[in-house]
Amino acid sequence: MPPEIAIFGIYVSPLLPTLLLLSAVYWVLDTLLAHWGLYQRVWHPSLFRLSLFILIYAVLGLALFASRGIRS
């Protein structure tokens, strides 16, 4: 796990800034997919949105770990 990040003297997980980045990326992608009408073609739109959220968060989290050069 990458070391904690100090924000105004408070140590937070490095995944918290990743969550903030995820919010922006997810909002843009969700807006585009809704505009293109994709949610009318999937079986369960809210489940699809949740899966998309988890997928993007996992990719950003793995990118964070890979960028720090952490190996198991």
20 φ/ψ angles, rounded to the nearest 5 degrees = -65, -40
DSSP for residue 56: H
d(CA 26, CA 72): 29
Render pLDDT for 31-67 as a digit per residue (tens, 0 to 9).
Answer: 999 999 999 999 999 999 999 999 999 998 888 777 7
d(CA 21, CA 57): 9
**pLDDT score, position 60:** 87
Statement: residue 71 has pLDDT above 60: no
Map out the domains of the chain as residue ranges.
5-67
Render pLDDT for 7-27 as a digit per residue (tens, 0 to 9).
Answer: 888 888 888 888 888 999 999
- Do 4 and 11 contact (CB within 8 A), yes or no? yes
- Do 34 and 52 contact (CB within 8 A), yes or no? no
Render pLDDT for 36-45 as a digit per residue (tens, 0 to 9).
Answer: 999 999 999 9
